[in-house]
Amino acid sequence: MLTLGIVLLIVGAVLAVVEAHLPTGGAIGVPAIAALVAGAALTLTGLGGGAALAVPAAAGAGAAAAGYLLLATRKVAVARRALVRGGSEALVGSAAVVRGWQGASGQVFANGALWRARLGWSHEDGPPQPGDYVVIERVDGLTLSVRKAEEWEVP
């Protein structure tokens, strides 16, 4: 019984590590908790402890593991719902500086890089001039759709 308890503890620990590294949403964590609880109870019983010691210890281990699993699953759910904060998607809504413009397209400097840009909306004031601020409205591949920045949008 002691050997089975130790094996279950090891299996539970391995499953807990796997749960921490894979986005399973608790599918591997629940069996990990079950293995840890059963392993703790069998190990304590195999070492000569009675049910008065094994049951509370196993329940405590199960409660701690379930609390950790609940916290980790909740954090994963929040992270999956969060908006993308990297790559070209993060550029939308930010300001850029015009470096050069000819006709309907030009180059703007945004997020530390030069990007191709085109006007997304009408440009009744004429095309932007170098040094003007524009706001990125959309990203299409490697081309940004921009509009002239309002006075309150200029950094």
Provide the percentage of residues in the chain whose pLDDT is more than 70.
Answer: 97
149: left (phi over 0), alpha (psi -120 to 50) or beta: beta
Q: Are residues 124 and 65 in the same domain?
A: no
Q: Is 11 exposed, middle or buried (0-12, 13-18, 19+ CB in 10 A)?
A: middle
Domain finish residue from 50, 81, 112: 81
Residue range(s) defining the domain that contains residue 39: 2-81
In a domain, 132, yes or no: yes
For the stretch 9-25, pLDDT in tens is 899 889 888 887 887 77
For the stretch 95-131, pLDDT in tens is 999 999 998 899 999 988 999 999 877 667 778 889 9
Q: Are residues 54 and 22 in the same domain?
A: yes
Domain finish residue from 81, 110, 125: 81
In a domain, 155, yes or no: no
Question: What is the 3-class SS of 89-143, one letter each residue?
Answer: HHHCCCEEEEEEEECCEEEEEECCEEEEEEECCCCCCCCCCCCCEEEEEEEECCE
Does residue 36 register a pLDDT over 80? yes
In a domain, 77, yes or no: yes
Domain finish residue from 81, 116, 133: 81
Pairwise CA distance, residues 29 & 23, whole Å: 11
Q: Are residues 26 and 48 in the same domain?
A: yes
Give the pLDDT confidence score for residue 115 in this predicted structure: 94
Q: How far is CA 31 from CA 19, 26, 28, 37, in A?
A: 10, 9, 6, 10
Domain CATH for 137: 2.40.50.140
In a domain, 42, yes or no: yes
Residue type, 119: L
Q: Are residues 11 and 68 in the same domain?
A: yes
In a domain, 154, yes or no: no
Q: Are residues 61 and 107 in the same domain?
A: no
Q: Are residues 61 and 94 in the same domain?
A: no
Q: Are residues 62 and 106 in the same domain?
A: no
Domain count, the chain: 2
Give the pLDDT confidence score for residue 11 in this predicted structure: 93
Q: Are residues 66 and 124 in the same domain?
A: no
Q: How far is CA 53 from CA 59, 60, 78, in A?
A: 10, 11, 38
Give the pLDDT confidence score for residue 122 in this predicted structure: 65
Provide the percentage of residues in the chain whose pLDDT is more than 90.
Answer: 23
